Structure 1
Amino acid sequence: MFGVGRQRASGGGMSGFKVRLLIALAIAAFALISYYGQPGDENRITGEEERVAMHDEQQEVQMGLQAKPELVQMHGGPTRDAAAQRMVSGIGQELLGAVDQWIAEHHPGGENPYRFEFTLLADPKTVNAFALPGGQVFITQALFDALETEGQLAGVLGHEVGHVIARHGNKRMAKQQLFSGLAAAGGVAGGDVNAQRMSQMIAQMVSMKYGRDDELESDKWGVRLCELAGYDPRAMIGVMKVLEEASGSGGPPEMMSTHPKPANRVAYIQGVIAEEFPQGVPKGLKP
């Protein structure tokens, strides 16, 4: 009798594992189908097919507008330097003109569906610039003050515009939904917290690659838009030197960061410039 009882307990354990495995497979299948099983959206600026979480660009615009007040407050509010803000806004508008020109040349019939605003934040310590989905672009006073030319400012803002028009935030959300589903499946199948944590770590490692790729793609957009707006794209190399000085020798290794090291980005930007302008950078551009 005891022998039968032990067999039943063992069978019940195996049955429980099978149930967990089936649930895990169902979760994983749902995550994969949700990401890969749906047709991608056509980017109305680039014409490329993309997998995104928000299919309507106006959802991206609204998300950016909703997040803006808190983000601005976190960085000390908007600058009180009206002249500096006018410069940021003016160069931003020139870059938007460059976006329209790029669309006309490379994707006729396309359009820019986003509502761009360029905000200089009062933060005097944080050397940074960033963009929210939908067109909210920010640069801190600390980075603004560290830049030496309008071309460098155009490079920074052009890079951030690149994040928006390439829908990096939206695509990252879609990938995170996929990775979260796979991580949940791993936790259910393993039946313990450690397995789930390991799955989440793997998911984070995989998603980091996309973050670095996003940064490099935005560097390429910065090069393109700078030239179209009348600025020398080589000014972006100076920006990398500013960022390298700001980061110092500390910080995590590049392989564990979503941002490539500035020194490595210099080589990439130089390669992009050579690719985009095989006959050399046009003369007469503003530095």
Structure 2
Amino acid sequence: MSRHLSWIAGLGLLLSACGGSKPARPALSQEGANRTFKLVQEMNEATRRCEQQRSQVTIQEEYTLGSAVAVNWVQQGGGLMLASEPGQRMHRTMNLIGQNLAAQSGRPTLEWTFGVLEEPNTVNAASAPGGYVFVTRALLRSVRSEAQLAGVLAHEISHVVLKHSLARYDDVKAEQCKVAASMKFSLAMTRQVQKEVMPPELGRMLDAMHGTGVLDLDKDPELLRRLTDPLVERLVQKGHAHEDEFAADAMALHLIASAGYDPQEYITFLGTLPEGGGFTHHPAHRERQERLLALLEAAKSPQDGFSELPASPRGLVKLSVPAEIAAATR
């Protein structure tokens, strides 16, 4: 069983102006006007740097962020099914399947970790940066073959490989950086002492973003929380963009075929999923199926580049749901 699962299982502004009337301010002196102009220029430059540092995420930053996001998924899913021996055997099997699929991907060296959430009613799957992939107990009960499960895992692996959550993280990071820049400008204009108003973690973030751009989240839990909470909220409330979901489906077909599974099984499984629930923000299942069927049809042409798909489907397998998984989810 992955050491990351054991670790996870153990873990349980912009300024708004006050209303009301204010006394009239005296006109700015030339010196004050020059100072204000300089401060505005500095804030604009700081805002530009906030945008410039997008996609500058180190692998260590991704792992730290991903572990924090993973803890959120585990908490929301009722914990991991690790308490019993059947649950541990199930996780070992899940990780064997998942690791095989991840080895076919463009990021095979990530420390991939696969887990099952206790959630018994909602059919859902989720992933986090750094290689964390989760499915619910309810989803495992709904798959009818190992190939269908492989399809779900491959879809989530693809989100990680394509860095879809990291793109949302870039948005959050840039927004928080701009908040810090705005605060710094406001404090300078009113000549307040920065440490009395600006959250210290935002000051540290602003310094880092305007320096190397590297955030050491391992040593800054306050900043990690400030970045993780809005990211998880955004993923829960809005999910991934529809085009990101289609892209993850398309890559999943390649991973499934590369691992020796019949990709048609995944397409069939999509048709059994309930609309809504954990798939509220996904495109309609029928549209996903139609796009995937079109990809498989196009794959019959050799110039498509879908080299993983053999000329005859007889070399591909679907297999029964592994006994360890079936036993643990009854």
TM tier relative to shorter chain: 0.5 to 0.7
Question: The residue matched to 1:234 in structure 2 has which SS?
Answer: helix
1:86 equivalent to 2:102? Answer: no
1:144 equivalent to 2:140? Answer: yes
2:241 aligned to 202, 208, 211, which one?
Answer: 211
Q: Any unmatched runs of 5+ in structure 2?
A: 1-23, 28-34, 186-233, 319-330
1:144-223 paired onto structure 2 within 5 Å? 144-178=140-174, 211-223=241-253
Work out the number of aligned pairs and report it: 230
Partner of 2:276: 247
1:285 equivalent to 2:316? Answer: yes
Q: Which amino acid aligns with 1:35?
A: E
Post-superposition offset of 1:156: 0.4
1: CA distance between counterparts of 2:256 and 2:174? 35
Q: Which amino acid aligns with 1:59?
A: E
Question: The residue matched to 2:127 in structure 1 has which SS?
Answer: strand
Tell whether the 8 Å contact from 1:27 to 1:184 is kept in structure 2 after alignment: no
Tell whether the 8 Å contact from 1:64 to 1:133 is kept in structure 2 after alignment: yes
TM score, norm. by length of structure 2: 0.56
1: CA distance between counterparts of 2:100 and 2:257? 11
Measured at CA, do residues 179 and 121 of structure 1 come closer, stay the same or move farther in structure 2, by a change above 3 Å? same
Measured at CA, do residues 66 and 34 of structure 1 come closer, stay the same or move farther in structure 2, by a change above 3 Å? closer
1: CA distance between counterparts of 2:45 and 2:294? 40
1: CA distance between counterparts of 2:151 and 2:111? 20
Post-superposition offset of 1:271: 2.8
Post-superposition offset of 1:182: 7.9
Q: CA RMSD in A?
A: 4.0
Tell whether the 8 Å contact from 2:164 to 2:240 is kept in structure 1 after alignment: no
2: CA distance between counterparts of 1:182 and 1:263? 41
Partner of 1:232: 262
Tell whether the 8 Å contact from 1:63 to 1:133 is kept in structure 2 after alignment: yes
State the percentage of identical aligned residues: 29
Tell whether the 8 Å contact from 2:50 to 2:178 is kept in structure 1 after alignment: no
Partner of 2:294: 271
Measured at CA, do residues 29 and 267 of structure 1 come closer, stay the same or move farther in structure 2, by a change above 3 Å? farther
Post-superposition offset of 1:112: 3.6
Higher relative contact order (CA 8 A, sep 6+): 2
Q: In the TM superposition, what whole-angstrom CA distance separates every residue of 1:236-262 from its partner, at most 9, and x where no partner exists?
A: 21232132x2538xx97xxxx4x2222
Post-superposition offset of 1:177: 3.8
Partner of 1:262: 285
Post-superposition offset of 1:63: 2.3
Question: The residue matched to 1:137 in structure 2 has which SS?
Answer: strand
TM score, norm. by length of structure 1: 0.64
The structure that is helix-richer by fraction is: 1
1:34 equivalent to 2:30? Answer: no
Tell whether the 8 Å contact from 1:32 to 1:178 is kept in structure 2 after alignment: no
Tell whether the 8 Å contact from 1:147 to 1:242 is kept in structure 2 after alignment: no
Tell whether the 8 Å contact from 2:43 to 2:181 is kept in structure 1 after alignment: yes
Partner of 1:54: 57
Tell whether the 8 Å contact from 2:275 to 2:284 is kept in structure 1 after alignment: no
Q: Any unmatched runs of 5+ in structure 1?
A: 1-8, 13-18, 39-50, 104-110, 189-203
Post-superposition offset of 1:96: 2.2
Question: The residue matched to 2:130 in structure 1 has which SS?
Answer: coil
1: CA distance between counterparts of 2:175 and 2:299? 35
Measured at CA, do residues 286 and 167 of structure 1 come closer, stay the same or move farther in structure 2, by a change above 3 Å? same
